[in-house]
Amino acid sequence: MELIPGSAVVTGGSRGIGRAIALRLGQLGTPVAIGYTRNVDKAEQVAAAIVAAGGKAAAIQVDVSKAEQVDEFIAAASQAVGPIGILINNAGITRDSLLLRLQKQAWADVLATNLDGTFYCTQAVLRGMVKRRSGRIVNIASVVGIHGNAGQTNYAAAKAGIIGFTKSLAQEVAKRGITVNAVAPGFIATDMTASLPANIQDQYLNKIPSGRYGKPEDVAAAVTFFCSASAGYITGQVLSVDGGLSM
């Protein structure tokens, strides 16, 4: 698969879905800047794996909820791996609770990282993409942002916001050769989902028509397609990667 020219930025790239995306882009020859918040060892392992396979990569620390850090991160990424042609907004957190018990800080933290971070990172790379009249932006949403989920009002609101953000920005930049799409994973086997109680995991599994949990690589495949030269006429779309969960 041929990807568009330029380097890629993957936020939350040290593990799970972000790791799989970074590795896949690196395997296809795209230089990758891996954004991470705390787990430097895992982020550097991802970068090392890409380099060992003959690619180019750098692990760079950033808290995407902080606008100033994002600007510094994007500048450092451009210097380390080259002009950014691909942005994957993947960084995200959960702070689950029923709304009556939800702490205001838990609401603010999830919106700040998941939604504000998407805005900050996108704005930071967009000017360069517009100037080059080329770019691929892929936002990692969630099926929860489409149909909701009890106990995740903050997370669902952030992911629904990302979907609206995706569709609106796609309209703004389509004539500039930039596509903006979202991938909405369902139940994917990651560290985040592994922390859920076993009975909750079983409940989800029973609802998935394909009869299995997704793998990070399933999401990475969809993201990679959106970043390819073949997807140049696809923008403003939300692709659910969920084994049929949201049918």
List the catalytic residues.
155
Cα separation, 27 vs 21, in Å, equals: 10
Residue type, 182: A
**Residue whose C-alpha is closest to residue 159's, from 139, 176, 137, 187:** 139
Cα separation, 42 vs 47, in Å, equals: 9
Contact (CB, 8 A) for 97 and 151: yes
**Residue whose C-alpha is closest to residue 140's, from 228, 238, 70:** 238
- Give me the residue label for tokens 């991160």: 73
**3-state DSSP assignment of residue 84:** strand
Q: Residue 239 gets which letter from DSSP?
A: E
Element (H, E) at 110: helix 104-110
